[in-house]
């Protein structure tokens, strides 16, 4: 059974992707800041890991946990962040947080999982 990892699993798009992957027979590990509501809903991941993608230490901790999985074949970087402010109101800290969640964290997760996925014939180049 293929294992898929979905970031942003509690958001609308993440829930839909989780449901589709589970319908296709994948075991889904969901990553998000807040735990998904426990239910029999197909959109709830089979396993949940709390991970704040704006915190690189938390991302590295999550990668250490995920490294124990031997069948990860898919990573869906679905989490995203944007600031609801006018551009002239954005601070450099706001900008850095958006870049960290939207670019740095997906890069680290992709890099951290890519070799194992490639060795198992999963992922893409």
Query: pTM for the complete prediction?
Result: 0.90
Mean per-residue pLDDT pooled into runs of 10, the chain (125 residues)? 95 95 97 72 89 97 95 95 94 97 98 89 68
pLDDT score for 15: 94
> In this predicted structure, what is the pLDDT of residue 34?
80
| pLDDT number for residue 39 | 57
Domain boundaries of the chain, sorted by first residue? 3-119
Q: Which CATH class is domain 3-119?
A: alpha beta
125 near 118, Cβ under 8 Å? yes
pLDDT of residue 37: 57
DSSP element (H, E) containing 32:
strand 27-32
């Amino acid at each position: 059974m293929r294992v898929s990892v979905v970031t942003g699993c509690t958001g609308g798009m993440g829930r839909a992707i989780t449901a589709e992957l589970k319908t296709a027979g994948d075991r889904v590990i969901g990553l998000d800041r807040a735990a998904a509501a426990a239910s029999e809903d197909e959109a709830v991941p089979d396993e949940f890991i709390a991970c704040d993608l704006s915190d690189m230490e938390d991302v590295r901790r999550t990668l250490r946990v995920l490294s124990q999985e031997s069948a990860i074949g898919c990573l869906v970087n679905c989490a995203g962040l944007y600031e609801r402010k006018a551009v002239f109101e954005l601070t450099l800290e706001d900008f850095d947080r958006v870049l960290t969640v939207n670019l740095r964290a997906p890069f680290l997760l992709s890099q951290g999982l890519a070799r194992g996925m490639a060795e198992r014939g999963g992922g893409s180049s």
